Structure 1
Amino acid sequence: MTADLALGTYRCQAIPEAAVRAAASGAQWVDTAPNYATGQAQVLLAPALAAHPSLNVSTKTGYFTAATGTDAVNTGVLTEDQAAAGHSLTPDYVRWQTSRNRAELGRDRLDLTLLHNPERTHPGDRPALHCAIRDAFEVLEGETAAGNVAGYGIATWAGLEEEAFTVGELLALAAEAAGGHHHLAAIQLPVSLVMMTPIVQALDGRGPLPAAADAGLRVMASAPLHGGELPGMVGQELADLIRPCLTPAQACVLAVASCPGVTDVLIAASGAPHWREAADAVAQPSLTAAKLREITGVLASP
């Protein structure tokens, strides 16, 4: 069974229209962040979320724009030096940004709040990083108890691959933060035919994807087309190897959607044709593990 298609807004050029289109097509999730679209993504999403209350939204805390940083300084949750960094996981900031996210999205309760690239905090110092993650999780547990957040997680670019943290460690930190039963619910990481490590590991039953699946976590695959570059790197011959009659873009999306453990594939499709193309790809029967091994083997060969 292939993963579901979800709207990602990082590179989306027409966020309101794309969100309405995604909801109308039956998509269940839209992913965003307070720093996307120069800080306007959440405000742009709000009308579509109001019109489609069944559409789940995942957003983030961590990165912020300069304007948001100034607001955070003026309200006393960040120092000027902290704001200059453009990223923070301090408890006061996480609490403040979560409230701001709710206001900008027009939602009393956020479906998912993800720590945005937590590996950017204390790089190279795993104990300090894990302490910061645990403290942020503690804030999000409080937000969950207050009914402001349904679940939380992490959105990482390199943290899992570089083992700044593992899924097992995140689960342990969440349990520590909660004092027992926790609400860690999701991880988001890049999975593509360029960033193949999670696929290769999953096929061998190791790495973050099987660990997340075993724990019942939602796994959102980001950058499945590697920022739009991948279709130009994949010829029709490779696309036909993946599944005959698919375009290169569709073949790349299907490979990610077929990866064991992935539950959602984030596509920043600004136009209707691109969304429809991706939707047709995930509607295909899933690729077998043998086929995925063949594909990754071909791509890994010199």
Structure 2
Amino acid sequence: MTARLGLGTYRCLDVAKTALMAASRGADWVDTAPNYQQGQAEASLAAVLSACPDLCVSTKVGFVPVGVGRVAVQAGVLSAADAERGHCLAPDYLTWQLARSRLMLGRAPDLVFVHNPEYACPDGEITGRLHNAFLALEEACSQRAVSAYGVTTWHGFGSGHFDVPALVELATEAGGPNHHLSAVQLPVSLVHLAPIGQALAGHGPLADALAAGLEVFASAPLHGGEIPGMVTPHLAELIAPGKTPAEAALAVVASAPGVKRVLLSTEDPEHWTAAAEAVGRPPLSPDVLRKVVDVLGT
């Protein structure tokens, strides 16, 4: 499997300008959320999506963007407590938020992720919250408000809140065998190596997603830009001789079993072009990945 580079907009200061740059250099996917760019990311993308109809877009549901909580409370889809907490997976709120995202984007998103469902979730409630969220999203898919849904998480898999088989089981309960759960998103990098080490041993979220036929979106592949400064010349040569530390780090992520898309945030055209080339190369061998895991640990 060869991964593709997609634009992640979490750290973008100018989402529209960056998305146009990425699209002009062959990007076919942009990932965003209602709470990115101080709540303006989706609206910023509308003109880009109109000008680039082949550009796919994923957004998210769950977090309450700045300035939106009061409107949602007044609409009767969000409690004051959830507005204060800043996160909600109640079906009415997810349906309302997805409709708002569609309006902001100017079109239906290709994929919507349940955003960090583990956020401030009391013990024992995550399964019920996800089940209700999946019911709402299956209904949204049946109404063609979105084509598919997934789960994006920072700590959910590693903390044991849930795993991929549990997500698939919940989706099957909500939508039957032809459910619309199609993807997971999680951090994969030289800092977050555990998913790669687990996959090489045949278990963990990457291996489970591959077995279930779910696409994997790898987020934070350069850990907010910190990783290139952490990669020694020796490690870069071990991974990809002759390549820069950033290119070597991206090659590891793109070669991880099951990874379909690597989401990178950069506004620099040269960095984007180099990253796209690194991600698009034939994957590193499992032996090289094992050496990286052995050197850095998980």
User: Which letter maps to 2:106?
Assistant: G
Check if 1:236 corresponds to 2:233.
yes
**Deviation string for 1:62-104 (max 9, x for gaps)?**
1122301111112111121110000100111100000001000
Matches within 5 A, 1:173-188: 173-188=170-185
Aligned to 2:13: 13
1:134 and 1:174 in contact (8 A); partners too: yes
**44-53 vs 18-27, greater mean Cα deviation:** 18-27
**Deviation string for 1:237-294 (max 9, x for gaps)?**
2111111111111111110000010000000011212211211211322110000000
User: Which letter maps to 1:227?
Assistant: G
Residue 209 of structure 1 and its aligned partner are, at CA, apart by 0.8
**Deviation string for 1:36-62 (max 9, x for gaps)?**
001010011111111111111110001
Counterpart CA distance in 2 for 1:88 and 1:225 is 29
Counterpart CA distance in 1 for 2:178 and 2:221 is 32
2:38 and 2:66 in contact (8 A); partners too: no
Counterpart CA distance in 2 for 1:121 and 1:166 is 18
Counterpart CA distance in 1 for 2:268 and 2:84 is 35
SS in 1 for 2:170: helix
2:218 and 2:259 in contact (8 A); partners too: yes
- The structure 2 residue matched to 1:139, chosen from 131, 136, 144, is 136
2:9 and 2:30 in contact (8 A); partners too: yes
Matches within 5 A, 1:1-302: 1-107=1-107, 109-125=108-124, 128-300=125-297
1:3 and 1:262 in contact (8 A); partners too: yes
TM score, norm. by length of structure 1? 0.96
Counterpart CA distance in 2 for 1:168 and 1:129 is 15
Residue 2 of structure 1 and its aligned partner are, at CA, apart by 3.0
User: Which letter maps to 2:80?
Assistant: E
Counterpart CA distance in 2 for 1:191 and 1:246 is 20
Residue 121 of structure 1 and its aligned partner are, at CA, apart by 4.8
Unaligned runs of 5+ in 1: none
Counterpart CA distance in 2 for 1:231 and 1:123 is 37
Counterpart CA distance in 2 for 1:7 and 1:122 is 29
Residue 122 of structure 1 and its aligned partner are, at CA, apart by 2.3
SS in 1 for 2:68: helix
RMSD over aligned Cα atoms: 1.2
2:150 and 2:183 in contact (8 A); partners too: yes
Residue 123 of structure 1 and its aligned partner are, at CA, apart by 3.6
User: Which letter maps to 1:282?
Assistant: V
Counterpart CA distance in 2 for 1:277 and 1:299 is 24
Residue 20 of structure 1 and its aligned partner are, at CA, apart by 1.5
SS in 1 for 2:259: coil
Counterpart CA distance in 1 for 2:274 and 2:227 is 15
SS in 2 for 1:58: strand
Counterpart CA distance in 2 for 1:204 and 1:180 is 28
1:112 and 1:149 in contact (8 A); partners too: yes
SS in 2 for 1:66: coil
SS in 1 for 2:70: helix
2:62 and 2:88 in contact (8 A); partners too: yes
Q: What count of residue pairs does the alignment treat as equivalent?
A: 298
User: Which letter maps to 1:209?
Assistant: L
Counterpart CA distance in 1 for 2:136 and 2:120 is 17
2:31 and 2:59 in contact (8 A); partners too: yes
SS in 1 for 2:2: coil
Counterpart CA distance in 2 for 1:159 and 1:123 is 13
**18-27 vs 55-64, greater mean Cα deviation:** 18-27
1:88 and 1:121 in contact (8 A); partners too: no
2:193 and 2:297 in contact (8 A); partners too: no
Residue 28 of structure 1 and its aligned partner are, at CA, apart by 1.8
1:89 and 1:121 in contact (8 A); partners too: no
1:5 and 1:27 in contact (8 A); partners too: yes
User: Which letter maps to 2:283?
Assistant: S
TM score, norm. by length of structure 2? 0.97
Counterpart CA distance in 2 for 1:277 and 1:123 is 43
1:19 and 1:30 in contact (8 A); partners too: yes
